[in-house]
């Protein structure tokens, strides 16, 4: 099993009610390939303003987003286990969970897994890569005991 070093940064104005570090570790572990390597990842939990600023700075989109992924791509001569950084916007995740009729925990899990897969090189820039990524996300989410994140929950 991979050893994961998680730097969890809480930069939200309301820090209570967030997932525990142990949850993030469980979700990341489920997304990463199995092995004995050490992996380092930073997750920064932010409010909408910081999400908007980063989304503008790196994606030229002037709106907050649920998650931003920043893979660490080291030159070949540097051997460090850093995967990269995830920035997750608390308010967007909470609003999406409500609007999609999902449990908050399940949506946090989905966003963390989604971002972790981006750090591993997966993307959704084309129909085929999106389908591949969604299929893997769904498999991981279901293995963790949550519902398929791409099927609407109508109650």
Q: For 28-80, what is each residue's pLDDT tens digit?
A: 999 998 876 789 999 999 999 999 999 999 999 999 999 999 999 888 888 88
C-beta atoms surrounding 12 within 10 Å: 19
Give the dihedral sign, CA 132/136/141/145: positive
What is this structure's pTM?
Answer: 0.92
Q: What pLDDT score does 36 carry?
A: 63
Q: Would the annotation count 16 as a binding residue? A: no
Q: Alpha helices, DSSP H only, in 1-147?
A: 21-31, 48-59, 90-99, 104-119, 127-143
Closest CA to 133 of 114, 146, 119, 151: 114
What angle is formed at CA 97 by the lines to CA 71 and CA 142, rounded to 5 degrees?
70
Q: Is 107 annotated as ligand-binding? A: no
Residue 114 counted as an annotated binding residue:
yes
Which CATH code for domain 3-143? 3.40.390.30
Per-residue model confidence (pLDDT) at position 151: 84
> How far apart are the C-alpha atoms of 94 and 89, rounded to whole Å?
9
């Amino acid at each position: 099993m991979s050893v994961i070093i998680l730097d969890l940064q809480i930069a939200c104005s309301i820090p209570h009610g967030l997932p525990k570090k142990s949850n993030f570790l469980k979700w990341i572990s489920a997304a990463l390939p199995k092995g004995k390597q050490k992996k380092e990842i930073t997750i920064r939990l932010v409010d909408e303003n910081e999400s908007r600023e980063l989304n503008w700075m790196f994606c030229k989109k002037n709106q907050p987003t649920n998650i931003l992924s920043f893979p660490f791509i080291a030159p070949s001569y540097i051997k460090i286990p850093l995967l990269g950084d995830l920035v997750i916007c608390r308010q967007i995740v909470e609003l999406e969970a409500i609007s999609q009729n999902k449990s908050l925990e399940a949506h946090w899990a989905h966003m963390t897994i989604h971002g972790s897969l981006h750090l591993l090189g997966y993307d959704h820039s084309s129909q085929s890569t999106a389908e591949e990524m969604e299929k893997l996300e769904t498999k991981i989410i279901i293995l963790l005991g949550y519902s398929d994140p791409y099927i609407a929950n109508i109650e």
